[in-house]
Chain A
Amino acid sequence: MAAGLSLVAGGGVVAPFDPAKILPAPERPTLSELFPSSARDGGATGFLLAHMARGKPMLWVQERMAMIEAGRIYPPGLGRSDLIHVDARDARAALWAMEEGLRCSALGAVIGEIWGDPKALDFTATRRLAVAAERNGVAAFLIRLGGHANLSGARMRWRVASAPSLGNALDPKAPGVAAWDAELFRARGFAPGRWIVSDEDPANCFPMVAAAVDRTLVEGERRVG
């Protein structure tokens, strides 16, 4: 799916794994649905960003209610600025904007955030998005904040939650590299499964200090005053 992900085994240890085979990935861009565990969990955003290919701009559509509940995207945190943000009044407008975006093959991805289970978001609407995404080769992601996994035309359906972050090599009391608990509960052509993944290999995080850190800093032993 993406080159940046790595698999995390139990206890925050990164297992050696072929990056290309970590997570099931569809052969062609299609519609994926992401269900964050709750609106107060930003983990799905990070999980999604790890999937994004660079080079092409992306269209990020946020419904007003999703923006109030879970915040507006913040480009300095995203690490990229080649995006177009759409502030949609309601789910209908958001779905329309997503479909328009999917018709534009110059985009790298179209991301939509929708709050709850609006009436406009039925099987037909998701099916339309999936077909548009496949026809034009633009990946579509639907973030369903506070929504239920009802009938949908999405090809891949994920439940994503934040997992305790990996150890921070410099400061064991500080949050480290982000990790996510991702569950693929429905997909076409793939068996469901559950993975704990991390954005990048923590061994490469601070290559300059890695040796010193290994020698002196062991998690839980050092007392930071």
Chain B
Amino acid sequence: MPRLSIERWLKASGGSDDADQTLRVALVVEAAHGQIVHAATRAAGVRRGTRLTDARAVDPGLAAVAADLAGDAALLARLARWASRWSPLVEVEGADGLRMDVTGVAHLFGGEAELMRDVEERLAAMGLTCRVALAATAGAAWGLARYGFSPQGGEGDSARLSVKGLPPVRRGGAPSPNPLPPGERESLSALLAPLPVAALRLPPGPTRTLELLGLKTIGQLAGVPRRSLARRFREADNPLDALDRMLGRKSEPLTGAPCEAPPRATIRLAEPVADPSAARQALDLLVPKLVAILAARRLGVRRLLLCGYRVDGEVAMAAAATALPSREAKHLRRLLVDRTDELDPGFGFDAFLLEASWCEPLGAAQDSLIEEPRGEREVAELVDRLSVRLGADKVRRPVARGSHWPERASGWVGVADSSSSSVAVAAPPRPQRLLDHPEAIGVIYATPEGLPRRFTWRRGVHDIKRVEGPERIAPEWWRERASARLRDYYRVEDNQGRRFWIYREGLIGDGRGGAPLWYLHGLFG
């Protein structure tokens, strides 16, 4: 996408359609010797890499705007995700390109030519100029996309180019001795011969050296004896390596290592649908498909992802997780059906993907030959439904911990969390309800360490009729800071029979603060 930056800027600035032809704007970046042009509108007619001062000398009215390289990269990353609609292996290539491995994919879109037309049309619909090239090797495709249309590598209109009749690109892995048949390599090298040496994807230094040596095109380079080139250039800069990769003599693995794709089901719509209920209908179609795949592979879903591919290059996603691996169509559908309303269709969805992004082995389902505990599974499904709607951190189960400190003696963990609880400490009576934050109360008590007689909590006075205590709980010195004070807990009952758990923090003269304060911590049932 040679004009990605400027097209993104034009779109963001909200100009009219012909802004590209009328506005004279250049996006600039800081370089060692002042600002240089990163991208410019057609009307400006400035080439990339020109100094801004030079451009201004020609056209004093040229407006300069700082380029947002990070924004461009974010857009490109988003496009790469969106491009997974065509192929599972997509990689961001440089600052303005995407590289796709379409091995065995093209026939799904009606052949290579149709695939390229589809890519170009969809990107054009978003207002992005793109040049699509398809070749047997990644290097050749890179060179063709950037230099195959115009030898200078300038910006042009959208175009596509493919090298017909070539065997598919080999995936990475073990380098095969002869990935391309010799005859086809001949035709490829003939096609690449007129390209400039810059198409070899070498660093600027060696490219410049080659040009100074008079080797301007790849064809000229190929004519030079290999041994003399190998002597002249070092490892990383070696044009022979680049040439070999381009012609398929050396393998060039994609960085994204091919892994076993998670089970997924897709549906493509004939035309974009902006109706909010479309996602729900798509879900109804996708869930049985996915369940069939899962059953064949004997997997159960732990995490489920529904992606809606939008025509404007966004992907709307809804996720759900399960506590136990499951492939029950009804349950899976129910988990996601509420989330489908939250998917923003924007200008319309034209494809949906349901992916089981995390699976666990699940044996063949058995419909209860003998009586089996079904309760656990039912509860797990309930937890899934609650977690999807309320958030996983809101649905929890208690876990006992080995501590006397009341806040630590019991913790809450996610239901899916399999961490077993440690042995609970046998403790004297504990309240049924505990306040998250102990509340300060005013207490009348016999100093220094007498029993409390009356306390005021939330502006209500409670006369203490019965009291038991104190139960002294010392701070855990290996966890607390040194100034933490001990707590003396009392079980108290007021004149109406209400029972509370209150404590006094610290002692008089313990050297860790002033007079001790009283707090109410819990309510007995």
Q: Which residues of A contact B (CB under 8 A)?
A: 40-49, 56-57, 59, 67-68, 70-78, 81, 83-89, 93, 96-97, 100-101, 103-107, 161-165, 168, 171, 173-176, 178-179, 181
Contact = CB atoms under 8 A, between A and B. Distances in A.
Contacts, number: 176
Nearest to A96: B389
Interface stretch (B7-15, B88-96, B297-305, B376-384): B376-384
Given A46-B432, A77-B430, A106-B376, A40 B457 contact: yes
A193 to B, nearest CB: 19
Contact of A175 (B386, B397, B432, B493): B493
A83 B409 CA distance: 16
Given A86-B394, A87-B394, A49 B525 contact: yes
Given A74-B430, A162-B498, A81 B398 contact: yes
23 contacts: A40-B523, A45-B523, A46-B525, A56-B375, A57-B379, A70-B433, A71-B431, A76-B410, A76-B427, A76-B430, A81-B397, A85-B398, A86-B390, A87-B396, A89-B390, A100-B385, A104-B382, A161-B496, A161-B497, A168-B468, A171-B468, A173-B466, A181-B497
A71 B438 CA distance: 10
B433 A88 contact: no
Contacts of B497: 43, 161-165, 179, 181
A68 B436 CA distance: 7
Nearest to B492: A175
Nearest to A43: B525
B410 A165 contact: no
Given A74-B433, A164-B497, A176-B466, 17 more contacts: A40-B457, A40-B458, A40-B523, A45-B433, A45-B525, A59-B382, A70-B433, A72-B434, A74-B410, A74-B432, A76-B424, A84-B397, A85-B412, A86-B390, A100-B385, A104-B379, A164-B465
Those 3 A-B pairs whose CB atoms lie nearest each other, nearest first: A46-B525, A42-B523, A106-B375
Nearest to A171: B468
A45 B432 contact: yes
Contact of A93 (B374, B390, B398, B400): B390
A87 B492 CA distance: 29
Contacts of B394: 86-89
B522 interface: yes
Contact of B498 (A40, A97, A107): A40
Given A42-B525, A81-B400, A165 B378 contact: no
A98 B435 CA distance: 23
A165 B409 contact: no
A171 B374 CA distance: 48
B499 A85 contact: no
A71 B399 CA distance: 18
Nearest to A199: B525
